């Protein structure tokens, strides 16, 4: 949509992070573009709306929601901008009374996750399979929410419990373990991987994989109408991040999410939010492979296929 001034107004759904704050408050702009921010909290609520109705021009989106959406022909394409990143050993918890002593013991058991294609679930299952030898097909995955991409058909070993509470089911012993269940107030619920933060750092040193959680997508109709749009948006995200990186290097008071990223620099290096395909190839190849192995993607894709072509060389 274009304002009378010749400025393109883009309806945008984006969480307020320390590294997107400049875009949200208007202190960072892109030439000829005005972002009209629609507040969606938590931001995960925007993913479903974008996938199902193309409600936004620009939207944050979980990486596996995006991969699933592209596999089903949804009309948007990502920029190689990764606004949220996490490691995924810590979100895997288990009930100590379940008979589970190690990750391999999850085979034959029920393990909860919000939805099968949820990004933390894909990363965590991939780690369980590749690092701990878990046969994911021998686990019953219990999901409590619908998939963002309605057309996606879940594997046979996925059981639906719509609206159930993962934490309650785990504390009661109805589940042996869960991924991404949040805070659970039960003495019976413990991390499945001991010292998960140390395990995450060791895994990164071993593999070089720094997981991507959220990217940013733009409607294909807009990208096709203006070949300069994707690089201009990429540059704006880069500028907003640069302001944040300067704050990390100073003694400025940091918000909670910024403090987490500041601490993570001891593992991943000075830039805890690297953008661009080249700097993220290992992570992108890993999430594609995990999604393929877990019957989320019908075929292997190259990282270059995921992003607007005129952003592939940008960092």
Residues 97, 203 within the same domain: yes
Helix/strand/coil percentages in the chain, nearest 5? 40, 15, 45
Contact 129, 197 (CB under 8 A): no
What does the mean pLDDT of the chain come to? 95
Residue 184 β-bridge partners:
none
Residue 220: predicted pLDDT: 98
Backbone phi and psi for residue 284, each to the nearest 5 degrees, phi listed first: -65, -45
Could you tell me which of 59, 265, 65, 245 has the C-alpha nearest to residue 152? 65
Residues 48, 125 within the same domain: no
Residue 175 belongs to a domain: yes
């979100």: which residue's tokens?
91
Residue 79: predicted pLDDT: 98
Residue 170 belongs to a domain: yes
Residue 38 belongs to a domain: yes
Residue 3 belongs to a domain: no
Residues with Cβ within 8 Å of residue 73, at least 6 apart in sequence: none
Residues 42, 124 within the same domain: no
Residues 80, 105 within the same domain: no
pLDDT tens sequence across 180-211? 999 999 999 999 999 999 999 999 999 999 99
Q: Provide the domain limits for residue 70.
A: 8-85+211-311
């895994």: which residue's tokens?
203
Residue 184 belongs to a domain: yes
Residues 98, 186 within the same domain: yes
Is the pLDDT assigned to residue 4 strictly greater than 90?
Answer: no
pLDDT tens sequence across 103-134? 999 999 999 999 999 999 999 999 999 999 99
286 Cα distance to chain centroid = 13
Residues 71, 161 within the same domain: no
Kindly state the helix (H) or strand (E) to which residue 286 belongs, with its residue range.
helix 281-293
Number of folded domains that form the chain: 2
Residues 178, 107 within the same domain: yes
Nearest 5°: the CA angle 308, 222, 243 is 65
CA distance 246 to 36: 26
Q: Which residue has the higher pLDDT, 259 or 210?
A: 210
Residues 48, 137 within the same domain: no
We report the CATH number of the domain holding residue 168 as: 3.40.190.10
Is the pLDDT assigned to residue 87 strictly greater than 90?
Answer: yes
- Domain termination residue (choose one: 181, 207, 233): 207
Residues 196, 103 within the same domain: yes
- Domain termination residue (choose one: 148, 177, 207): 207
Residues with Cβ within 8 Å of residue 77, at least 6 apart in sequence: 70, 217, 218, 220, 223, 230, 306, 307, 308
Residues 74, 97 within the same domain: no
Residue 2 belongs to a domain: no
Cα within 13 Å of Cα(168), Cβ side: 5
- Domain termination residue (choose one: 188, 207, 226): 207
Residue 2: predicted pLDDT: 52
Residues 81, 224 within the same domain: yes
Residue 255: predicted pLDDT: 81
What's the rounded mean pLDDT across residues 243-270?
87
Residue 64 belongs to a domain: yes
Residues 100, 163 within the same domain: yes
Kindly tell me the burial class for residue 217, based on how many C-beta atoms sit within 10 Å of its own C-beta (0-12, 13-18, 19 or more). buried
Confidence of residue 251 (pLDDT cuts 50, 70, 90): low
Q: What is the b/e burial string over 255-292, where b = at least 16 CB atoms within 10 angstroms of the residue's CB?
A: eeebeebeebeebbeeebbbbbbeebeebbebbbebbe
């Amino acid at each position: 949509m274009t304002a009378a001034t010749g400025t393109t107004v883009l309806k945008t759904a984006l969480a307020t992070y320390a590294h997107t704050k400049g875009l949200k408050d208007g202190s960072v702009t892109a030439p000829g573009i005005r972002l009209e921010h629609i507040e969606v909290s938590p931001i995960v609520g925007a993913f479903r709306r974008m996938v199902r109705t193309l409600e936004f021009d620009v939207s944050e989106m979980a990486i596996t929601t995006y991969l699933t959406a592209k596999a089903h022909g949804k009309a948007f394409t990502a920029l190689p901008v990764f606004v949220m990143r996490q490691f995924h050993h810590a979100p895997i918890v288990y009930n100590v009374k379940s008979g589970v002593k190690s990750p391999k013991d999850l085979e034959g058991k029920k393990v909860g996750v919000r939805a099968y294609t949820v990004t933390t679930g894909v990363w965590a299952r991939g780690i369980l399979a590749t690092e701990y030898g878990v046969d994911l097909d021998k686990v019953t995955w219990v999901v409590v929410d619908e998939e963002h991409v309605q057309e996606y058909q879940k594997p046979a070993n996925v059981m639906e419990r719509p609206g159930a509470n993962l934490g309650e089911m785990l504390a009661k012993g109805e589940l042996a373990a869960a991924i991404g269940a949040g805070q659970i107030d039960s003495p019976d619920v413990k991390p499945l991987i001991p010292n998960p933060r140390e395990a995450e750092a060791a895994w990164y040193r071993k593999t070089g994989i720094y997981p991507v959680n959220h990217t940013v997508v733009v409607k294909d109709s807009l990208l096709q109408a203006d070949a300069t749009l994707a690089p201009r948006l990429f540059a704006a995200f880069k500028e907003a991040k640069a302001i944040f990186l300067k704050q990390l290097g100073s003694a400025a008071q940091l918000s909670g999410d910024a403090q987490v990223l500041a601490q993570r620099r001891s593992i991943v290096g000075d830039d805890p939010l690297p953008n661009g395909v080249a700097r993220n190839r290992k992570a992108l190849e890993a999430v594609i492979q995990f999604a393929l192995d877990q019957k989320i993607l019908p075929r292997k894709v190259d990282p270059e296929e995921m992003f607007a072509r005129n952003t592939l060389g940008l960092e």
